[in-house]
Chain A
Amino acid sequence: MNLESGPEIEDFRREVAEFLDTAPTDAIREAGRKTTSVFAPFDEVMQWHGILHRKGWAAPEWPVEHGGTGWTAEQRFVFAEEYCRRDLPPLLPNGLKMIGPLLIDLGTDEQKRRHLPGILAGEDYWTQGYSEPGAGSDLASLTCTAVPDGDDYVINGSKIWTTLAHRANRMFMLVRTSSAGKKQQGITFLLLDRVDYPGMEIRPIVGLDGFPEQCEVFFDDVRVPRSGRVGAENDGWTVAKHLLRYERGGSMQSPWLHRFVRMIRAAAGERTSPFGGRLADDPVFQRDLGELEADVASVEHLERLAVSGHPIAADPAFPSLNKTIGSELIQRLTSLMARVSGLEGLALQLQALEVGAGADPLGDGFDLIAMPYYLNSRATSIYAGTNEVQRDLIARSLTNR
């Protein structure tokens, strides 16, 4: 075993820190402080994406020839650590971590040329059209149809949980192109280069936290070009499964999880325990925070092993393990946030959560985000395949031999 470290990595850390300290605008920092979801405030995070892109740092995980940074795994970890140590919104995952890597792997040269630059630069936002009202965890039951007609597909049906579709200008989606054979066999993966085709209607859905983060999208005889197909017709399930590996695993969650721990520690240092003294010195709080910190440490250890190429990450169930562990830890961390915030977190403060609204929050910045974060993160064990589905897959890796 060998842990890499040395003056070079510390030089790199300084270079990253200097940029992250100086490049973001005040509005971007405010968006970071007001982030209560995987999806940060849209306008500011896309602006920040553009700034990072101009520096060449928008997509550290991409291959260099497509605009990646060429950093080592250790450098990427340092970048993520420094990033999460500051009040910065996380870049939206749909482009950089989902459709971008998928197109790099499976897109045609034309699709790469056409779409990757906009994803990399943060000029395009892609919403994901997978789930339907009748097809959630059982995604292969989807019924939104696409019928070939000349150079087009004609789409009818609807998609739901299309995150930020009302802010999107692109969409990738799964459609049913055949009802013959197994239900997985008649699915096709499509790229839509706009979301305002005639016959498309986007309706935002207000979530538990009071924000319209999710949407429903309706298709009524919508004609889209066939050139947007990724992979073969009726082979979209293979494409979707490939993308799921990016959606569920592979990214570095632990620096972001450490950020929760720091916020909770700081807040507990300023609050009193009902038994007297600071909450940070309360033995029950310390024990509970300690368990979460230890679990965050284990996620970090697993990620460090994974990026080093250790066989532990070659397990076929690794994406499901990663998704389940990370998503449930976020839920436990945001639960502790809400617990620490207590009564102060009960005020509904939608206005004050808007970036640039100028409305003064009741309580402090921690109280402002604790409850919305808790509420929003109930979704982490539902999206990208419910954790029940993930556990099915994990168990199968033990019992199918």
Chain B
Amino acid sequence: MDFGFTDEQAMLRESVARYLAKNHSFEARQAILRSGRPHSDEVWRAFADLGLLTLPFPEAAGGLGGSVVDLVAVGELFGEHLLVEPYVASVLLAGRALAEAGEQPAAKHWLGRIMAGEALAAFAHEEAGGTAEPSQVAVRCRESAGGYRLDGEKRLVLGGADADVLVVTARTGGEPGEHRGLALLLVEPGAPGVRVTPFTTVDGRSAAHVGFDAVEVPAENRLSADAHGAITRTVDGAVIALAAEAVGAMGALLRQTGEYAVAREQFGTPIARFQAVAHRLADMKIACTKARATLLYTAALAEAGRAAPRDLSVLKAQVGRLGRAVGEAAVQTHGGIGMTDELAVGHYLKRLLVIDAMFGQSDYHYRVVGAAAS
């Protein structure tokens, strides 16, 4: 068994780390947030140059054929640097869903543009149920004269306000709770009947709620029927990438909080000397260690094609709960300054809260694990 990064993965990680260290300090990141733009085009171009936009896609589709573990190797860095660029939204969610459609011409066209850095896509999937389980999808798509008519609403579509195209999960048949009757559709955000309500998430990301009122979708924009498997694979890939981000953010919080506890003096001594503070640091390290072990092991399982739904639930639940705990402990240890917008600590906490809330909160996934027959 070997759970370390390969030489190639270490090189990829090193090149991305070097770029981010030089160009994506916390101050640079805050400047991007203040710019009024959803993210930095410059960073996105650099991602294209580094090969990140083609990394996850098969070579046959023009990608680099990267593995799950490649994405974990860079995902930890994205978390460490609090990236707001829509990598998960456009590349890992929408892009992956497009790649699932294979040779379908419309999918191929948009995937090509995403990989080239010419277009951004968003994956409109989550509804109000608090879980990413595809069978919960209720948005309807009925056959119409020109193809399909789409009705319903998607909540918190990452990158949904800036996307050139939306990849929408919808139901052509069956009822919520059933695996059958799910489809992936391409929808242009400017199409009549598409309501985009843009907002910024608490962690600084551009997102939108997207409603569909009798939106006409041409037949050729249906990417795949019977899409339960394709949606599951797409979401699972994103969950692992988000877990890697969470673990990267947790590691950064642990390091910064340890350094702060040594530097900060009260009552004439570094606060790290106080056992109540030291033990909170220890608990943070325990949480980080557990989360990272589960991330690396689950990634290895996924790469071997052996990650069961239960394994993904364990991962999502652990990074959700442990990430939140580490974030809250970091703010508490920093005291008043940890409550301010000017320190990275609170931004990490908010990133971790968002990761916990998306694709099923930890409580949901724990119950899935506890209910599973073993």
Contacts and interface: CB of A to CB of B under 8 A. Distances in A.
A301 B294 contact: yes
B3 to A, nearest CB: 5
Interface string A11-42: 00000000000000000000000000000000
Contacts of B291: 298
B282 A391 contact: yes
B71 to A, nearest CB: 12
Given A301-B296, A308-B3, A399-B272, A291 B290 contact: no
A1 B293 CA distance: 13
Interface string B348-374: 000000000000000101111111001
Interface string A360-401: 000000000000000000000000000010111011111101
B291 to A, nearest CB: 7
A293 B270 CA distance: 38
B129 to A, nearest CB: 16
Interface string B299-334: 111011010000101100110010000000000000
Contacts, number: 154
B211 to A, nearest CB: 31
A302 interface: yes
Nearest to A258: B374
Nearest to A317: B285
A343 interface: no
Contact of B2 (A1, A321, A388, A401): A1
A302 B293 contact: yes
A281 B363 CA distance: 16
Interface string A298-338: 11111011011011100101000100110000000000000
A391 B369 contact: no
Contact of B369 (A293, A317, A388, A390): A293
B34 interface: no
A294 B2 contact: no
B370 A293 contact: yes
Contact of A395 (B281, B292, B297, B363): B281
Nearest to B291: A298
B4 A3 contact: no
Given A1-B300, A287-B363, A293 B314 contact: yes
Contacts of A285: 370
Nearest to A324: B286
Contact of A3 (B279, B304, B317): B304
A106 interface: no
B293 A312 contact: yes
B145 interface: no
A390 B281 CA distance: 12
Nearest to B284: A398
A311 B258 CA distance: 20
Given A3-B1, A297-B314, A395 B294 contact: no
Contacts of A394: 281-282, 285-286
A226 B244 CA distance: 55
A395 B278 contact: yes
B1 A286 contact: no
B69 interface: yes
Interface core residue of A4, A285, A312 (most chain B CB under 10 Å):
A312
Nearest to B273: A399
Contacts of B339: none
A8 interface: no
Is chain A's binding surface mostly helix, strand, loop or mixed? helix
A310 B301 contact: no
A209 B125 CA distance: 53
A283 B279 contact: no
A302 B2 contact: no
A1 B294 contact: no
Contact of A304 (B3, B299, B321): B3
B1 A391 contact: no
B161 to A, nearest CB: 35
Nearest to B316: A294
A339 to B, nearest CB: 14
Nearest to B302: A1
A295 interface: yes
Contact of A294 (B3, B306, B369): B369
Nearest to A298: B290
B48 to A, nearest CB: 27
Nearest to B271: A399
B345 to A, nearest CB: 15
Contacts of B370: 285-291, 293
B2 A398 contact: no
A3 B300 contact: yes
Contacts of B313: 290, 294
A308 B285 contact: no
A302 B371 contact: no
Contact of A290 (B289, B294, B365): B365
B261 interface: yes
B314 A294 contact: yes
B164 interface: no
A308 B367 contact: no
A308 B282 contact: no
B290 A287 contact: no
B278 A304 contact: no
A2 B369 contact: no
Nearest to B369: A290
9 contacts: A293-B369, A293-B370, A294-B369, A305-B3, A305-B293, A324-B282, A394-B282, A394-B286, A399-B270
Interface of A: 1-4, 73-74, 261-262, 265, 281, 283, 285-291, 293-295, 297-302, 304-305, 307-308, 310-312, 315, 317, 321, 324-325, 388, 390-392, 394-399, 401
**Ranked 4 nearest A-B pairs via Cβ:** A290-B370, A290-B366, A286-B370, A395-B278
Given A388-B275, A395-B279, 5 more contacts: A1-B299, A288-B366, A293-B314, A398-B254, A399-B278
